[in-house]
């Protein structure tokens, strides 16, 4: 009974969520887009001409936002390139090059690198999060692992001046993750956009400028 009540409450909150309504009105696939939008507007992350990688992109709202920011090429198209990667399928988005698969696997990385043709990336975005179990220590380890993967990916592919934005959570591993960011990036900031629910421990970490570019 309690579970049904929780589901009903979630559905009620979701339907009445202003960001859900706004996403539907503006044609975005998920309310998460407004988290990226707020961070981008304060940090000026996304600019025409950039090469941007969206890790864990499905359903695609972040890629949609990036695409809109890079739009403006004469005759349609975008100024820049967007690569979206995810284990799950994603409905196509104009001008976004989607690779389905695990970015830890050589086959997927080879596909990306073939399209990058030796070029480095300006910005890596990751809205990835593990399936949480409710066991704090286990969940903290999973969050930390996913962010480690994103940092390793960024280290291998970013320009020296590039940036990485990841979803994180306050919890037992948070300080370790911040320390890891500080060891890899020249500047590190945490961001709690208004579209993140107040009761959520979700927070975003932004690292700019690689300390040890490859």
pLDDT of residue 71: 94
The pLDDT of residue 70 is: 96
- pLDDT (tens digit per residue) in 114-163: 999 999 999 999 999 888 888 888 989 999 999 999 999 999 999 999 99
Contact call for residues 120 and 149 (beta carbons, < 8 A):
no
Q: Which two tokens stand for residue 170?
A: 């306050």
Query: Which domains are present in the chain?
Result: 30-210 (3.40.50.150)
Provide the pLDDT for residue 16.
Answer: 76
Residue 2: per-residue pLDDT: 52
Query: Looking at the chain, how many residues does it have?
Result: 214
Q: CA 27: distance to chain centroid?
A: 19
- Asked if 61 contacts 23 with a C-beta cutoff of 8 angstroms, the reply is yes
Binding site listing for S-adenosyl-L-methionine: 60, 62, 86, 102, 127
Q: Give me 154's structure tokens.
A: 């960024």
**Which segments in the chain show pLDDT lower than 50?**
1, 10
| 199 neighbors 192 (Cβ within 8 angstroms) | no
167 given a catalytic annotation: yes
List the catalytic residue out of 37, 167, 192, 194. 167
Helix residue ranges, H only, the chain:
2-16, 18-26, 33-43, 61-70, 106-116, 136-157, 174-184
Taking the C-alpha atoms of residue 40 and residue 42, their distance in angstroms, rounded to an integer, is 5
């Amino acid at each position: 009974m309690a579970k049904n009540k929780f589901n009903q409450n979630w559905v009620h909150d979701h339907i009445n969520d202003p960001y859900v309504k706004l996403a539907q009105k503006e044609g975005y696939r998920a309310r998460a887009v407004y988290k990226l939008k707020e961070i981008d507007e304060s940090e000026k992350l996304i600019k025409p001409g950039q090469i941007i990688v969206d890790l864990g992109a499905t359903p695609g709202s972040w890629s949609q936002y990036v695409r809109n920011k890079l739009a403006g090429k004469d005759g349609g198209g975008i100024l820049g390139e967007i690569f979206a990667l995810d284990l799950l399928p994603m409905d196509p988005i104009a001008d976004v090059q989607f690779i389905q698969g695990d970015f830890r696997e050589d086959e997927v990385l080879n596909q990306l690198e073939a399209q990058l043709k030796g070029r480095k990336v300006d910005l890596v975005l990751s809205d990835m999060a593990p399936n949480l179990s409710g066991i704090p220590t286990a969940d903290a380890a999973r969050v930390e692992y996913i962010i480690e993967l994103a940092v390793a990916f960024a280290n291998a592919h970013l320009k020296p001046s590039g940036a990485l934005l990841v979803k994180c959570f306050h919890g037992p591993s948070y300080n370790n993750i911040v320390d890891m960011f500080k060891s890899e990036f020249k500047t590190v900031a945490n961001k709690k956009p208004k579209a993140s629910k107040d009761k959520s421990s979700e927070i975003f970490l932004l690292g700019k400028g690689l300390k040890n570019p490859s």
